[in-house]
Amino acid sequence: MTPVGVAFVTGGSKGIGAACAVALAEDGFDVALTYADDSAGAEKTEAAVERAGRRTLSFQADARDPDRASEVILEAEQRLGPIDALVANAGITRDGPALRMDRDAFMEPIEVNLAGAFYVMRVAARGMARRRSGSIVAISSIVGRVGNAGQANYAASKAGLLGVVRSLARELAPRGVRVNAVAPGMIQTRLTDGLTDEWRDALLERTALGRLGEPRDIAGPVSFLCSDRSSFITGAVLDVDGGLAL
């Protein structure tokens, strides 16, 4: 089967990124992905993409390095073809009370989640703009909308990402490139594994659907936004949170 295009997913070795890579492969995309240090996880994602009948590549990359963003995008396009869809997913948390948060703890999520996403979006968008076609999806968070105690750094990074998405959507629309964001609620990933039972119960109480989400709950909407089915959607932020605090 001829692929529908090439997708690039950052942070694709586990969790939401891995689920997005597999969903895009199942929708017909060849998929390149990056990972920070989990090479075994990246190999699992690659195997799942190949089981879906698609070509795949993975790259070790530090999201904070703009030069590395250029290198991996260039190599992916040389080996798989022009990138049609980008999912900027790579992210970290460094939780703690704001009054005791030092500069490094505050800045690391900003550098990875916000600046890192911008670097890869900027590089991928250049080729998309030349071809006058493409879709970019950034993974933000409901925390970027409402904030959360102990996550001032993470909330700032994800709120800033929404500003980048809306700005790029306006900037790139004349070139035929769409830019959107997905804002997950509480999803069962390594980033939420440290939740206390008390905090988990409180979240479930506030979630209309009565459960935490799973990575595949995010992958479906992301795949939709990468496809032609969403061809009249840009600059949007899609909350995928199970009805959190409706």
The superfamily (CATH) of domain 5-240 is NAD(P)-binding Rossmann-like Domain (3.40.50.720)
- Give the residue-averaged pLDDT of 117-126: 98
Active site amino acids: 154
State the amino acid at position 191 in one-letter form: L
Contact 35, 13 (CB under 8 A): yes
pLDDT tens digits, 13-45: 999 999 999 999 999 999 999 999 999 999 999
Residue 10 class from Cβ within 10 Å (0-12 exposed, 13-18 middle, 19+ buried)? buried
The span from the CA of 169 to the CA of 233, in Å, is 10
Q: What is the pLDDT of residue 48?
A: 98
Residue 246 has pLDDT above 70, yes or no: no
Q: pTM of the prediction?
A: 0.95
Contact 20, 12 (CB under 8 A): yes
Residue 1 has pLDDT above 70, yes or no: no
Q: Which of 15, 13, 39, 40 is nearest to 31 (CA)?
A: 13
